[in-house]
Chain A
Amino acid sequence: MGVQDSLETVQWDVSEAAHITVDNDYCVTCEDKPCLHLCPAECFDYQADQKGGIYFAYEPCVECGACMVFCGNDPEKGAVSWSKSEGGKGVEFDFG
């Protein structure tokens, strides 16, 4: 079972406002692109036509915060700007 199938079991009340944004200018110089294998919800996708090769979608985010740590907080990376989703929005786990 791929992670996309797994993610179909998760519920969201998607906010209109993105709680995470990615500045692709940083992705241009990022060689190893850890976001592609570290995000547990595959919010980061490699797309050659995107600046720096990274397409980001906040909608399926499970709000773990890993991208803030491995990219946003990394002085050599820093593409990710992170905040908590607005009140009542975002992922809704039933079986935490």
Chain B
Amino acid sequence: MEKNKKIVVYGSILSFLIASALFVYTVYASNMLSYLSSDPKACINCHTMNSAYATWEKSSHKNVAGCVDCHLPVGDAVAKYKAKAIDGWNHSVAFTLNTYKNNIHISDDGASRVQANCVRCHASENATLKMNADKYHSEEVGSLENGRKCWECHKFVPHGKVRSLTSTPYNLGVKEKE
């Protein structure tokens, strides 16, 4: 009886150590810490995002806004990390189990975040737009809140005309400058 106890105690400690070491290795192999940053390269740890990265990298948005500036809530840290955690979980499950389609589409939640960020950065243009709309149209028809998204017209901003596997290089890895 005494012997079994010892096995459990030592076994549990040993396996805890192995698990911890493996965790450290997993953190390293999966670039896990990069997810805490706002570096766009963190998004292409998952190769699915390469075409989005490549098209953004060639866009005028590159110098002013990275992935998170458009795709995550800005200003509210709780909302930001909640969105990050939920998206991160969904993405890693999809990528690991290969359950996503070739043509990926933004979620409703993601779309409303992006819309809020378009409005946030382009506040002065929006103000003019809203002023004109209020002046010439009824509120429902012309207001910014009537359900239309900026990119319904600005289709190619910032990811270009064709943002798909076809439009990016054969080798999926986006090469960093040496």
**Do these two chains interact?**
no
